Amino acid sequence: MDIWECIYTRRSERRFKGESGRAIPGKDIEEILDSARYAFQIENIPQWRFLFIRDQNTKQVLADFAQEVAHMIFGQSYEIFSGHLWYLPEERRPTIAEYTQTGELWKYPLEADFVVIPCITKGAWFDSRVPYMEQATAVGGMAIQNMWLTAHKLGWGAGCNAMPLNDIRRRELFSTFSGVPMSWQMCAAYCFGDRTSARSVGPSRASLEGVAFNEHWGNRFIRIGFRDDSSEIAIPTKDVTEVIKGVRNCYKFDANAEVEDWKLEKMIHCGIWSPNPENLNHWRHIVIRDEKIKEFVAQCTKEAFLLEYKASFEQTKAHHPHLSDDELLQYVEWMLDEGWKYPLECNVMILTTFAKDWVEYPHIAGTLPGGIDYIWSTATGCAIQNMRLAAHALGLETQVNLYPIAEFRRNEQFVTHLGIPSSWVPLTLLCVGEAGDAPDFVFKKRPVPSIKDLVFDEHWGIRHTPLK
């Protein structure tokens, strides 16, 4: 399936046929799971494991939890609930409230063929710089988005159910049940199955100008159609799986190559069409070309590379299993001399931020069920992945940079300079450009971890048996 068709026609499916429907064949399940491992991982070490569930008893537990929580959240107040349907006309909202406020709608894990629960490391298994949980959960979201798109390409429905695991008490119960250790954060239940009928039309999204700023918070990014004639633009395309497998981290950009505005716009637009909790469009992006900001990011990167590559050769070796010792020595030298400059050489950076919670939700067990537990950063990862996929399809290269964000002092300077309000969390900085010339070892393909090491069947620790 063509990448654009896949991104724009993917929907959240919440009604599956259950036993009366088709079982998803093993080869499709393997293809869906497999697509996850091509997404970005911090330091090339997977931040996630997936719990793969087919057992009806476990699905029942998830469905019951989901219904209880959804009823608790949405059943409280029609006024609050109807506000979440901002994109629908007033008169259509009560009908939807009828089946939503009871929580009945959220029982769909029961009818799904399989459920995937992403578990994100809280840093206990990380051997170097402990990433912020927001970043690690976003990385999980990137992997999920690959699976969602692959399921859609294969004709299967997929939908996220955030309800069953978004409060501490139910998470604790489920952790005892499934053996997921405390050092891993469970983020929602992703359901896959034979949908009752395909949803073709998605809920409306905010406009590009509503979610993207130019250089500074609040300064609207104006799309090219409002500035210029864009009628002649021919958008290239590619197969979605080819794109998923083709995205790589670029450490060398061509400093002279400009990213045309329409390509940038297409990337952001694909981000807007990602799944997002309750369609609240909870992300904002700042498009940055300012040389001074790029210099700041490059300096943060240089500092991080010094710490990273000068710390331990053994550790660096473990992170780069695709390089021989000789290559690795050259690689480290190149990274310290040249590699840190990529934020300066890329043409544009997209800083993605997200709103952590919508405070109208009632508190449950000390958390805000709608968001505070990283489910929203996971969703933002889905948007970032869509942007990366779009960039690749358009012949561009990207690199996920976390250095000015995942360190308290730098983060504070960065946020203040860009005028980001404290209710918005900066998540990743996507460097975008065209590939430049670099020695072969820089672009050498890294090994992709095996699904057997990343997916557990039914219970934590039980390695996935590939299905036929």
C-alpha Rg value of the chain to the nearest Å: 22
CB nearer to ligand FMN: give 14 or 37.
Answer: 14
Whether the CB-CB separation of 168 and 367 falls below 8 Å is answered with yes
Provide, rounded to whole angstroms, the least separation between the CB of residue 293 and ligand FMN: 29
CB nearer to ligand FMN: give 379 or 390.
Answer: 379
Which residue in the set 101, 352, 378, 411 belongs to the binding site for ligand FMN (CB under 6 A)? 378
Q: CB under 6 A: which stretch of 221-229, 251-259, 264-272, 373-381 binds ligand FMN? A: 373-381
DSSP string, 69-84: HHHHHHSS-HHHHHHT
Asked if 161 is part of the footprint of ligand FMN (rule: CB under 6 A), the reply reads yes
Asked if 123 is part of the footprint of ligand FMN (rule: CB under 6 A), the reply reads no
Asked if 281 is part of the footprint of ligand FMN (rule: CB under 6 A), the reply reads no
CB nearer to ligand FMN: give 288 or 379.
Answer: 379
Asked if 352 is part of the footprint of ligand FMN (rule: CB under 6 A), the reply reads no
Whether the CB-CB separation of 375 and 134 falls below 8 Å is answered with no
One-letter amino acid at 369 equals P
Provide, rounded to whole angstroms, the least separation between the CB of residue 275 and ligand FMN: 3
Provide, rounded to whole angstroms, the least separation between the CB of residue 414 and ligand FMN: 26
CB nearer to ligand FMN: give 148 or 253.
Answer: 148
Asked if 375 is part of the footprint of ligand FMN (rule: CB under 6 A), the reply reads yes
Which residue in the set 7, 53, 119, 163 belongs to the binding site for ligand FMN (CB under 6 A)? 163
Give the sign of the dihedral formed by CA 193, CA 196, CA 197, CA 199: negative
CB nearer to ligand FMN: give 12 or 214.
Answer: 12
CB nearer to ligand FMN: give 356 or 410.
Answer: 356
CB nearer to ligand FMN: give 66 or 418.
Answer: 66
Provide, rounded to whole angstroms, the least separation between the CB of residue 349 and ligand FMN: 24
35: left (phi over 0), alpha (psi -120 to 50) or beta: alpha
* Number of residue whose CB is nearest ligand FMN: 275
Asked if 276 is part of the footprint of ligand FMN (rule: CB under 6 A), the reply reads yes
Whether the CB-CB separation of 431 and 342 falls below 8 Å is answered with yes
Asked if 277 is part of the footprint of ligand FMN (rule: CB under 6 A), the reply reads yes
Instruction: Report how far apart, in Å, the C-alpha atoms of 190 and of each of 50, 109, 165, 337, 356 are.
Output: 10, 8, 11, 43, 20
Whether the CB-CB separation of 288 and 294 falls below 8 Å is answered with yes
Site for ligand FMN in 201-240 (CB under 6 A): 202-203
Provide, rounded to whole angstroms, the least separation between the CB of residue 379 and ligand FMN: 4
One-letter amino acid at 244 equals I
Range list of H helices, 75-132: 78-83, 93-100
Q: Which two tokens stand for residue 93?
A: 């909202």
Provide, rounded to whole angstroms, the least separation between the CB of residue 152 and ligand FMN: 10
Which residue in the set 53, 382, 389, 400 belongs to the binding site for ligand FMN (CB under 6 A)? 382
Measure the CA–CA gap between 231 and 159, rounded to whole angstroms: 35
CB nearer to ligand FMN: give 14 or 320.
Answer: 14
CB nearer to ligand FMN: give 12 or 44.
Answer: 12
Measure the CA–CA gap between 235 and 216, rounded to whole angstroms: 29
Asked if 12 is part of the footprint of ligand FMN (rule: CB under 6 A), the reply reads yes
Q: Are strands 348-355 and 212-214 parallel, antiparallel or unpaired?
A: unpaired
Provide, rounded to whole angstroms, the least separation between the CB of residue 149 and ligand FMN: 12
Provide, rounded to whole angstroms, the least separation between the CB of residue 228 and ligand FMN: 29
Q: CB under 6 A: which stretch of 155-163, 290-298, 306-314, 361-369 binds ligand FMN? A: 155-163
Measure the CA–CA gap between 436 and 328, rounded to whole angstroms: 20
Strand partners, 285: 212, 352
Indicate the helix (H) or strand (E) that contains 331. Answer: helix 325-337
- Interaction pattern, residues 179-208, with ligand FMN; x per rule: CB under 6 A: ---------x-------------xx-----
Site for ligand FMN in 286-345 (CB under 6 A): none
Q: How many residues bind ligand FMN (CB under 6 A)?
A: 20
Measure the CA–CA gap between 173 and 61, rounded to whole angstroms: 10
Which residue in the set 111, 113, 167, 278 belongs to the binding site for ligand FMN (CB under 6 A)? 278
Measure the CA–CA gap between 198 and 12, rounded to whole angstroms: 10
Asked if 275 is part of the footprint of ligand FMN (rule: CB under 6 A), the reply reads yes
Site for ligand FMN in 125-154 (CB under 6 A): none
Measure the CA–CA gap between 10 and 95, rounded to whole angstroms: 24
Within 10 Å of residue 325's Cβ, how many Cβ atoms? 8
Q: CB under 6 A: which stretch of 156-164, 285-293, 295-303, 329-337 binds ligand FMN? A: 156-164
Strand partners, 430: 350, 400
The C-alpha angle with vertex 429 and arms to 149 and 441, in degrees rounded to 5, equals: 80
Whether the CB-CB separation of 142 and 37 falls below 8 Å is answered with no
Q: How many CA atoms lie within 13 A of 214 on its CB side?
A: 11
Task: Give residues in contact with ligand FMN (CB under 6 A).
Answer: 11-12, 14, 159-163, 188, 202-203, 275-279, 375, 378-379, 382
